């Protein structure tokens, strides 16, 4: 059965663009479009959607109020459609904390102005939301979205494979990759870490602009310092670097130090930033000095990169199915034999602090 989608946005142009794009996918059915939550609720009395694509700023009832009402009464997978503004990013973080499972950026023009890769992100967000187990973000049940084959580039387009020759050091690096459900999962992990935690690099699939607001929110909640990564930032104890949306992040060795490189490039495994790119770079720069962790998310980004990490002697962990919102990325890594151990989300902070490497 196709994924049933309801679009709620006060802009007629945005509704038209989203309906047209989603209607190109055989596994997605747009069952309606509403200009505000009041109209949406009337439509939902007749047919309940699997996924709601929701604007935040609307007349009569704002998106955050509607989202909280949904999560309290009838938890449903929600993808936030937000503007690329600082204010939009901050409000979107509130929506993610309230139970939304993903973010897409609001199209500003017609179909011709909406890039093909933005369409890929939109379809991926809807499919990921449809697969989300709402028991992990609220209550209720999600269902798996049908797989759709699309052209997919590998990490080869950004950097070559690891040579496998890495000098062991006393510095330990933790690399984390996650997607759908990851904002809440990362908050759960990072808020439990002390300021003495090892340096951490993170790829969370998220559009440009939103990663900065996400990092700032986490920084306000955590003992570790959390920031959106900038080119040449050092990876140091007590600091977490979040890959900026729309950019790849790579780990580089600079003498006895680790730094990150932030760069442009094509979508890898249909994402930018890509977990595969980060993990491959960690395999090259840190090897067995690293701990790799793959967490909740749709698709297989990170699976091949984690296998490369595993082959260097790095320790590799996958979040277990029971604690994932979407058991996709960890499952694919496990199937490849890239995961040393699957662990519950609640155990990840302890494992990070107990990691000694080598």
The structure tokens listed for 218 are 């986490």
CA distance 119 to 234: 34
CB 78 within 8 A of CB 67: yes
Q: How distant is the alpha carbon of residue 159 from its chain centre? A: 22
Q: Cα separation of 282 and 277, whole Å? A: 9
Q: Three-class SS of residue 310?
A: helix
Do the Cβ atoms of 278 and 177 come closer than 8 Å? Answer: yes
d(CA 30, CA 41): 15
Indicate which residue of 82, 102, 301, 310 is catalytic. Answer: 301
Element (H, E) at 204: strand 199-204
**β-pair type (248-254, 257-263):** antiparallel
Dig out the tokens for 185 from the structure: 């999962």
Catalytic residue list contains 179: yes
Distance (Å, rounded) from C-alpha 204 to C-alpha 99?
16
How far apart (Å, rounded) are the C-alpha atoms in residues 290 and 146? 34
Phi, psi of 300 (to 5 degrees): -130, 15
Tell me the C-alpha distance between 50 and 22, whole Å: 14
Beta bridge partners of 226: 240
- Helix (H) / strand (E) element for 275: namely helix 275-285
Catalytic residue, chosen from 179, 274, 281, 323, is 179
How many other CB atoms are there within 10 angstroms of residue 38's CB atom? 14
Q: Any catalytic annotation for residue 301?
A: yes
In what helix (H) or strand (E) does residue 65 lie, and over which residues does it extend? helix 63-73
281 part of the active site = no
Token pair listed for 150: 């699309």
Q: Among the options 205, 248, 271, 310, which is catalytic?
A: 205
Q: Which amino acids are annotated catalytic?
A: 179, 205, 301
């Amino acid at each position: 059965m196709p994924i049933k989608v309801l679009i709620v946005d006060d802009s007629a142009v945005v509704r038209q663009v989203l309906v047209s794009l989603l209607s190109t996918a055989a596994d997605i059915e747009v069952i309606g479009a509403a200009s505000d939550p009041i109209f949406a609720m009337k439509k939902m009395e007749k047919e309940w959607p699997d996924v709601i694509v929701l604007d935040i700023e609307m007349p009569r009832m704002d998106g955050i109020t509607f989202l909280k009402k949904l999560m309290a009464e009838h938890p449903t997978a929600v993808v936030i459609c937000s503007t690329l503004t600082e204010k939009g990013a901050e409000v979107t973080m509130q929506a993610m904390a309230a139970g939304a499972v993903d973010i897409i950026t609001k199209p500003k023009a017609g179909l011709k102005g909406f890039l093909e890769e933005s369409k890929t992100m939109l379809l991926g967000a809807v499919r990921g939301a449809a697969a989300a187990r709402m028991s992990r973000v609220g209550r209720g049940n999600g269902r798996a979205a049908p797989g759709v084959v699309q052209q997919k580039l590998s990490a080869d387009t950004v950097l070559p494979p690891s040579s496998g020759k890495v000098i062991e050091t006393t510095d330990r690096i933790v690399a984390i990759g996650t997607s759908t459900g990851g904002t809440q999962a990362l908050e759960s992990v990072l808020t439990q870490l002390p300021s003495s935690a090892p340096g951490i690099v993170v790829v969370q699939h998220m559009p440009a602009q939103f990663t900065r607001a996400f990092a700032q929110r986490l920084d306000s909640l955590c003992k570790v310092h959390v920031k959106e990564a900038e080119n040449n930032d050092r990876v140091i104890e007590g600091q977490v670097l979040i890959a900026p949306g729309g950019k790849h992040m790579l780990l580089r060795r600079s003498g006895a130090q680790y730094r990150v490189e932030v760069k442009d490039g094509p979508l890898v495994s249909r994402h930018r930033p890509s977990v595969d790119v980060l993990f491959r770079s960690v395999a090259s720069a840190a090897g067995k000095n690293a701990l790799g962790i793959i967490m909740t998310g749709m698709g297989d980004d990170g699976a091949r990169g984690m296998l490369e990490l595993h082959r260097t002697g790095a320790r590799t962990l996958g979040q277990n199915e029971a604690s994932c919102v979407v058991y996709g990325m960890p499952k694919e890594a496990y199937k490849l034999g890239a995961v040393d151990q699957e662990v519950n989300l609640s155990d990840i902070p302890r494992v990070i602090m107990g990691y000694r490497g080598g």
